[in-house]
């Protein structure tokens, strides 16, 4: 489908669900960008879920988002159960504003929901020549190391920094694969990779439906579990949001709002070494790229480089939409 047509349809759908034109535009742009980045697990596959939660008033179509100033560097955002895209977009813009004033911005967000890819927000900070950390917790999907029941979310860790070229953005879940890939595989009747999830009996499974009823495996066993726990504290405990397994699954639990938390930290990288920062970053990347290549590799890419190439390659292309998701799109637009 042509991007222009898809954007129009998405805007129409969200406005039918009583979102403002500005909010509809922001969400539509992010969903399309996920597709262009080669991350369809965070794109159109989630559209129906967002609409279902708006319809049931678990996501507020017209939230009254409040920003509380704690200091010139620190702000606390009450997202009022808005869709996560809007809460996070407001939050990262505030973090950027704070960092430009003082050299560092710290923004905590509570009462939010799923906000798509963390890289959406990291990229905004990097484009403003800032270094950035983004944290968000998520519904239970990982069993803590030593436990046999899921409690932590896939809790991604995201870091971004300017390079003078394509932004360096490391955005990775603390699970072997993100939850969205399993959700999308379930929706489309696809298999998931071997060794990323267990069924409810504790057996490795490639069946997406069985994986959703079981638990996902963390990266690096104890280390991955520890990182997921860290993110749960950073984005859940200290923001005043749900944590330790209490975030509601957006697809399966309609008993109330998700109450997810996000934490953004933005830093002016020039505060210590001034104008030398970009020069040193270029030296850093150049040294690593010049290393002898391992067998099967023709280049060494830094985080974010491949996705940036994918995005640029797809920027003017039509978006391929699986028939099942296209049906959902058409049905939502017809309502």
Question: pLDDT tens digits, residue range 133-191?
Answer: 999 999 999 999 999 899 999 999 999 999 999 999 999 999 999 999 999 999 999 99
Q: Residue 277 CA to chain centroid, in angstroms?
A: 27
The pLDDT mean for the chain works out to 97
**What structural domains and CATH numbers belong to the chain?**
62-175+223-317 (3.30.1370.60), 177-217 (3.30.60.50)
The closest alpha carbon to 248, from 107, 149, 156, 141, belongs to: 141
Residue-by-residue pLDDT tens, the chain, 335 positions = 999 999 999 999 999 999 999 999 999 999 999 999 999 999 999 999 999 999 999 999 999 999 999 999 999 999 999 999 999 999 999 999 999 999 999 999 999 999 999 999 999 999 999 999 999 999 999 999 999 899 999 999 999 999 999 999 999 999 999 999 999 999 999 999 999 999 999 999 999 999 999 999 999 999 999 999 999 999 999 999 999 999 999 999 999 999 999 999 999 999 999 999 999 999 999 999 999 999 999 999 999 999 999 999 999 999 999 999 999 999 999 97
Which pLDDT score, from 0 to 100, does residue 148 have? 85
Give residue-wise pLDDT tens across range 69-106: 999 999 999 999 999 999 999 999 999 999 999 999 99
The Cα-based distances of 65 to 12, 110, 296, 297 in angstroms read 23, 10, 50, 48
137 in Cβ contact with 232 (< 8 Å): yes
CB-side exposure of 319: number of CA atoms within 13 Å? 24
| Region label for 61, one of left (φ > 0), alpha (ψ between -120 and 50) or beta (otherwise) | alpha
DSSP sequence for 300-331: -PPTTHHHHHHHHHHTTSPPP--HHHHHHHHH
Using CA atoms, how far apart are residues 4 and 38, in angstroms rounded to an integer?
Answer: 18
**Lookup: tokens for 214:** 């079981």
Using CA atoms, how far apart are residues 1 and 85, in angstroms rounded to an integer?
Answer: 23
Residue 33 is inside which H or E element, if any? Answer: helix 21-36
């Amino acid at each position: 489908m042509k991007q222009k047509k898809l954007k129009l349809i998405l805007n129409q759908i969200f406005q039918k669900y009583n979102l403002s034109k500005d909010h509809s535009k922001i969400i539509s742009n992010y969903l399309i960008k996920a597709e262009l980045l080669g991350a369809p697990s965070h794109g159109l596959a989630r559209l129906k879920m967002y609409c279902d939660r708006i319809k049931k008033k678990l996501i507020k179509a017209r939230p009254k988002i409040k920003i509380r100033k704690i200091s010139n560097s620190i702000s606390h955002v009450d997202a009022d159960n808005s869709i996560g895209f809007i809460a996070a977009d407001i939050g990262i813009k505030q973090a950027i504003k704070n960092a430009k004033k003082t050299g560092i911005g710290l923004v905590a967000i509570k009462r939010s929901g799923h906000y798509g890819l963390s890289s959406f927000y990291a990229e905004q900070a990097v484009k403003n020549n800032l270094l950035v950390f983004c944290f968000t917790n998520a519904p239970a999907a990982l069993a803590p190391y030593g436990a046999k029941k899921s409690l932590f979310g896939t809790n991604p860790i995201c870091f971004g920094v300017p390079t003078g070229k394509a932004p360096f953005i490391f955005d990775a879940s603390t699970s072997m694969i993100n939850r969205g890939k399993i959700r999308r595989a379930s929706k489309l009747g696809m298999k998931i990779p071997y060794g990323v999830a267990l069924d409810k009996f504790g057996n490795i499974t490639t069946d997406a439906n069985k994986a959703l009823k079981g638990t996902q495996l963390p990266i690096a066993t104890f280390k991955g579990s520890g990182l997921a726990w860290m993110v749960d504290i950073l984005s859940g405990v200290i923001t005043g949001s749900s944590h330790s397994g209490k975030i509601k699954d957006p697809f399966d639990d309609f008993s109330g709002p998700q109450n997810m938390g996000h934490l953004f930290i933005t830093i002016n990288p020039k505060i210590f070494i001034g104008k030398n920062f970009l020069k040193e970053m270029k030296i850093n990347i150049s040294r690593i790229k010049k290393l002898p290549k391992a067998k099967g590799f023709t280049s060494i890419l830094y985080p974010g480089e491949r996705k940036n190439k994918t995005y640029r390659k797809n920027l003017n292309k039509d978006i391929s939409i699986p028939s099942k998701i296209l049906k959902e799109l058409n049905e939502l637009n017809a309502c």
